[in-house]
Structures are given as structure tokens and as C-alpha cells.
A and B are shown apart, each in its own frame.
Chain A
Amino acid sequence: MRRREFLQKAGKAALLAAGTASAYGFFHNRSTARFTPLTVKTGSFEVPPDPTLPRITLSKHEDPIAALGYALDAVGGIKRFVQPGEKVTIKPNIGWDRTPQQAADTNPILVGEVVRLCLQAGASEVIVTDVPCHDARRCFIRSGIREAAEKAGATVILPQASDYITTDIGGKLLTTWPVLKYFVQTDRLINMPIVKHHSLSGCTVAMKNLYGILGGRRSQLHQKIDQSIVDLAAFSTPTLTVTDATRILFRNGPTGGSLDDVAIEDSVICATDQVAADARAAEFLGLSAENVGHIVLAEKTGLGTIDYRAAGYKEITE
């Protein structure tokens, strides 16, 4: 081997050895954490309390739109909750592949009407979405909510795998969890549950409806259901709760499936106090809120009042 050839070869070999070694050194002992949880919520969605107005209203009327109108006006009207230019996310219960009559999902007429009112109040965009249990495509179509909300002018979003943000919930039990971004990156959040029986929590209404902002394997939450509901309610703090009690699912909840499980109540609740709203709704199912674990725990945590009459309650019947 000639000298020049040897030097060339040795130089290349040395470069390759140095490169390999430094690459190994670069990757050695790097942090194994794949991602860090984010606190991404854009702020509290609540409106300041107004002592002159009731904190919970209930209206009974055969026409769901009229019932909603009376209840909402009594709690301050849509202009109290949505300012021009704000982005609003509406969270109905679209959890199950059921038709509106089967009362497993929120009444599409009410969802459409709330969308319309928000846009009328000047909202820049109204998003309607949910993280369903059953297949989202079927739930959104068969519940009638997709059609009603789109007709009223909302953007209906079927959650995609990439739409979740690992979020710091900051709860006692729920620390980090994937949350659908539309429920945290918005200006206003309107929770629109339906009143249903649930065999573990007793009832599923407003606060339990917030399970639907989460992705991941949320079936584990049932092992400590009361604390996880309260953690979510404390994290989420909706602007307004509009509870659909036009028809309720009084047994075989939360899925139902038979019209025999459904009772017609023709009522709509509007509330700025989610605990009071759930306490009132529980009565439709023949429950006393003092016996419903998560409602009691929510009051103890300071999220609201079980004694909804003391909180300021107005019932409108025409």
C-alpha cells in the first residue's frame, strides 16, 4: 500500500469512527419522556354572577323551543353569556347511536335553537361536538344533532385522533388526560346534557356529561366515579348549562334503546350553577340530590349549591 493511499483510507476510517461515536454520545441518556402535559385551557368560561338574576330556571312547555326561550330569558338571556365575536363550543350528549325519541342523546331541536341564538348574539363561530361512546359517525347522524346544528349554522366536528391535547386537568384524581381541543380552546362553553338514569352514579346529567370532553380509556374513571366527575366539573366550568328534560331516560340508562324507558317531561333547565342544575334534574328521576354521591361531593368542593331553591330558582309554566 502506498503512503498516500494509506493516509486517505486512515483519514476516512477515523472520520467514520468519530462520527459514529459522537452520534452515540448525542443520543446516550436522553430523556425518555415522549411528551409533556400542557395546560391549554384558554381561561374560565364562566360569566360574573348577577345577584338580581336566578341561578337556575326551569320552564315547562310542549314546544321545546318555547321552553328553552322562557328558561333562558329568565336566567339573563343569551346576550349575558355570548358576546359578539366570541367563539362558542356547545357540548350536547351525542354519546350513543340512538334516535331522538329514544332519549339517549340531547334533543336536536334544542341544540339547533341554542346554535341559532349564539349566532344571533354575534358569536364568531359555534362548534358542536362530543366524544361519543358508540361510533361518532353513527351517533352524530342518528341523533339528528348533526343535521339540526348544521342547519342552524354551527360547525359540527367529528373528533379525529389528532384533535386531542394531553391536558393537565389539575384534579384530585384526574391529573393528565387527553382532552378534545375544542372544549378547552374556546371562549364560551355551553353544556347541553339530557337527564338520564345511570346505574353507578345514580343519574347522568350536566356534570357527568363532561366525561365526553375526554379521550383515552375513560372507562377506568368509573372506579372512582364521584371524584372524577367533580374533578372534571371543576376543570371545565361551563358558561351555561342547558339541561334537556323534554324527555328523560328513567331506566336502562345511559344507553336505553326502548321507548318504554322514556318519559315525557317537556322541561328545559338553564343554569349558571351546575350543581343546582343536577340537583333539580335528579328529581325527574325520583332521586334526592343528597343521595347522589357526585352532586354531594361537588357541593362540598364548592362548585355550587344542592339547595337550588336557596340558590335562586325560578320556574316558569305557561
Chain B
Amino acid sequence: MTIKAVRNLRRISQIIFFGIFFWLILKTTFEVNFNPADPSEIRLPYPVSIALEFDPLVALGTILSSGTLYKGLLWSLVILIPTIFFGRFFCGWVCPMGTLNHWVSEIPSERLRRKGVGKIRSNRYMKYQRIKYYVLLVFLGAAFLGSLQIGLLDPLALLARSIGTVVLPMLHTAANGTLEWVKGLGLPALASGAQSVYDTVAPLLLTYKQSFFHTILTIGTLFLIILALNRLFTRFWCRGICPLGALLAIFSRFSFLGLQKEEASCKHCQLCSLSCQGADDPEIGRKWRQAECHLCLNCQASCPEACLSFRLFPNQEVTPANPAGTPQINITRRKAALSVGSGLLLFPLFRSGDAFAVNANPRLIRPPGSLPEEEFTARCIRCGQCMRVCPNNALHPTLLEAGLESMWSPILIAKIGYCEPTCTLCGQVCPTGAIMELSLQEKVGDKETPPNRIGTAFIDQGRCLPWAMATPCIVCEEWCPTSPKAVYLKEETVFDSKGNPVAVKRPYVDPHLCTGCGACEYACPISDRAAIYITSAGETRSVENQFLLEKNRKKAPAPRSTTQQSARN
């Protein structure tokens, strides 16, 4: 097989893996035509979070922060072990974020047309490429003490979050708007044509209901900046920032596969540097940098004299004209130690603020089955899978509700969507076990065990129609899904403004029965700020965030440890 054929294989591989990743995100939803095997307990048909389970950085980060490797994360060895022997093939051949950066870098423009010295110079190794090691080491330092920050910049978590909570909802809005606009033009043929295009595309790309996400602006802006930086330097993110790339670079130190340079026939045309993706200096006369190389094979394929070739156990003898030997990763021990040290310092910094526990936001309502906040922060990678899969659009990325430490972690906003009482999808898709996988019985409870509670409902008597406005309304009670109902009514006679008696039923909440699902808040007719609302008080996952004496409340089951959990699965 010629090198050009191998390069085409690499291109096909990039397309396929990007396609798989995108398809898995599309499938992280409750599809309309979905026909589950067991209708009483609905489970997704595909292991949709599998792509994230192949991520070695997620695996290493959660090992450091939580001391365990959650179920499917063992898959990440499939990436990590071959990297040790063959180098960063993941970056060049597999990573969907890398592929996206690759494509955006290659969109024709002024910069690419120049094809001159500037482009070659920008593709040479530069100091900014060390940043990614600092990012990695800072995150690993923080993870070691229990604050998992890798998800902010891990490429797979970042891409899943950006596509799931920004790109696809935007596409939905744009598609609806376009359809509406075409229909408004008043041409029936065009309108029905547009409708049929929409009806074909919608089941493939759009969710059953349009989702609206909190703080999509921050997520979208970061994503846009990362993509835009490719227009300054080819794959700037992959070369300079990506902590997963840095991890794989470190693991590729002893790689068998490398670049062999034959200086004799080189005419110094520099075509190799012109097309280099990793800025790893394949050019003769410069030291090739194994750790920076994405194995895209462009240099070998573009060399007209066949001086460059990737082979197992390459001859990397050092001569003045061919300093081919692989240098160490270009950071000093002192700077590495300093990075880890600042990562460690992040932990007391985060935890000395008030948002973590002391003054936790009462509206910080975590998904059902979430671990206690400390363990939750040690596991959540903010991939947004739970938000994407939630059938009610109830789960959203936080901005600062859980402090800066947990930005973009999931929060339930009941005003937009409540927690469907029998739904367990968020726990099913969580790749790291920050949200435990609950069975239906664990979620709704039975006569012996209480249900999983995410909070408790409270009534705002000043806004409630029967409490404040002499107007009948029982909607919160009607919607309350527990049996017996946690929202109960008491009939009372009140007087309207003219002094006439009005019989109303006033709602009350029984905290022993309330699960905090938020259906009452969602359904309350006062939609801008509901007269009944949930806060996190009484959530199952917390020992401290309780307000009733234990004896009044059915005893909660001992929290299952995650190791038992993974054994069961």
C-alpha cells in the first residue's frame, strides 16, 4: 500500500469516528419511534456514552479524584495501551474534536493560499505547545485532591457538551424558524416542499421537543473560540491546549513507531512542514518531536524525494544535518512540579468559597441518583449527556449555581421541566457514575424503601391563587405524582375584594411524601415565578441538607458504593 493510500485511510478513519461520535450524541435522546423491550422500565437501546468511556483522560482523572474506575471506563485502555507503542494515533486518526479542528483549519482562505514562509513557520514547533502540559498537570493536581476539572477542556467531554447543548438546539431553532418563514411566504407548493424536507430531516437531527438550555452562551463561546483559533494556527487547540493530547504525548515517549529521515536526497523543499498538523518538525535539519506528532502522515505523503518514512524502530541516529533523535517533552521538571502544585492549590481555593457547602445555592438541584456533592464533583465531567437525554429538558448546565468549581455540571430547573417520576435515563447515560444508575424501584420507592428525593416543594403563599387571591386552583395537587399525594388540600372560605365568600382549596406540602420532582412548580399556572417551587432541602444524597428529624422520615437505604454498582453492571 502506498503512503498516499494510507493517508486516505487516515481520512476515512477520521470521517468514520467523527460520524460515530456525532451519531451517538444524536441517539442520546428518547426517540419518538423508540419501542423499548420492557415498557414498564424504559432503557435506552444503545450504550450512547461509550465514546466518552474510551477517553483515557476521563479514566485517569476519575481514578485520581474518586479512587475508582467506573464501569465502561476500562475501555480507555484500548486507546492508552496502543499509544504507548505507536504514539498519538488517537489525535490524528480518531479524536472527533481533532478531526473538527483539522477540517476547520483546512477551509480554504487567504492564509492557506499563501503557502509560503509564513505557513511553514507557523507549522514549526513553538513554545505555546507546552501550555497543554501545564493544563494537564494543573487538572491532575486538582483531581488528586478530589476536584475533577478535566471535563472543562477534555476534548470529548467538551465536544459532547457543545454539540448536545449548543449546536443541536441551535439547529432545531434554525430549522423551525426557516420552516415558519417559508410557510409565511404564501406559496403553498414551496410550503409543502419545505414541510416534507423538514419531516425527513427532523427524525434524524432534531429531538422530539425543542430543548432550551441555561448558559449556552458560555459553552458556545468557548467552542467558537476553539474553532476560530484554527484560523490563526492549524489545530491550535490540539497543539497547544488539549490536556488529552498532552496525556497521550507523555504516554508516547517510548513509542516503537517513529519518523526516519534520510537526509541524503533531501532538497529542502519544506513541503513536509507545509502540511504538518502537529507542528512536530518533520523537516530535515530539525529535531523531530515524537510527542507532538499526530501521525497524520502528511509529511511522508508530501515528500517528493521519499526522505521521510514512518516505521517501527526507526533509525534515529543523530547527525548535525539530521538531529532526528526524539527530545524529551519540552517542559522543565520545576515547571511541571509548579503546575501540579497550583492544581493542588485549586482545591482549597474552591472549597474555601461559600458556594460548595456552607452557602450552597438552594436551587442547586442535582439529577436523581446523584452522589453527595463532594463525590459528585469528583466524578462529573460536564459532558452534558444527562442534559441531552432528559426527556423533559429539566437538566441544564450550571453557570455559577454550584460555584466556579462545578461550572456546566447538571442542575434541574423545574420551571422548564420537572423530573419525570419513573424516568432513569440520566443515570443510564452518565459515563462516570456521578449520577448513579437507579432502577425504577429505587427511583420511585416502595412500601419499605423511600423514593429517591432530589428536594422538597415549598409554597409561596403570597403568589398562590387560593392563598392570596381568592381564586380556586388545585393544579399542583393534580400533578403531584406520589400516592398518597405530597401536595394536599384543605377547603377554606375566603373573601374576595367585594366581600363575597369564595370556597377555595388551599395547598399544603407533606415533606414526608414529597420527592422534589418539581411537577408542581412546572405546572403552576403562575409561570414566570411559580407559587410552589422546589429547593434541594431533603435531597436523598445529602446527610446534612435535611430539615426533618430522622424519626419522622422513613429510613434511607445505606448508599450503595460505586464498586458494588459496577459489579452489578
Q: Which residues of A contact B (CB under 8 A)?
A: 96-97, 99, 133-138, 141-142, 144, 147, 158, 160-162, 198-200, 217, 219-220, 222-225, 251-252, 254-258, 260-261
Contacts and interface: CB of A to CB of B under 8 A. Distances in A.
B45 to A, nearest CB: 13
B34 A142 contact: no
Contact of A137 (B32, B480, B505, B527): B32
A260 B391 CA distance: 28
A133 B479 contact: yes
Contacts of B34: 137, 141
Contacts of A261: 483
Contact of A134 (B420, B444, B475, B478): B420
Contact of A252 (B42, B465, B484, B489): B484
A199 B477 contact: yes
Given A133-B479, A223-B525, A257-B483, 5 more contacts: A142-B40, A161-B209, A162-B179, A223-B472, A223-B473
Interface in B455-506: 465, 471-475, 477-485, 489, 505
Contacts of B477: 199
B420 A135 contact: yes
B392 interface: yes
A85 to B, nearest CB: 24
A136 B420 CA distance: 11
A200 B478 contact: yes
Nearest to A101: B40
Interface string B81-121: 00000000000000000000000000000000000000000
Residue in A144, A162, A198, A251 whose Cβ sees the most chain B Cβ within 10 Å: A162
Interface residues of B, number: 42
B422 interface: yes
Contacts of A138: 30, 42, 391, 420, 422-423
Nearest to B489: A199
B524 A199 contact: no
Given A137-B32, A158-B32, A223 B471 contact: yes
Interface in B31-53: 31-32, 34-36, 39-40, 42
B197 to A, nearest CB: 14
Interface of B: 30-32, 34-36, 39-40, 42, 176, 179, 208-210, 391-392, 420-423, 444, 465, 471-475, 477-485, 489, 505, 523-525, 527
B505 A141 contact: no
Contacts of B444: 257
Given A252-B483, A261-B483, A137 B478 contact: no
Contacts of A158: 32, 208
Nearest to A102: B483
Contacts of A142: 39-40, 42, 422
Contacts of A99: 39-40
B483 A222 contact: no
Given A161-B209, A199-B474, A252-B483, A141 B36 contact: yes
A310 B284 CA distance: 104
Contact of A217 (B40, B471, B483, B527): B527
A165 B505 CA distance: 33
Nearest to B444: A257
Contact of A144 (B39, B176, B210, B479): B39
A255 B42 contact: no
Contacts of B472: 200, 222-225
Contacts of A217: 525, 527
A254 B478 contact: yes
B152 to A, nearest CB: 31
Contacts of B36: 141
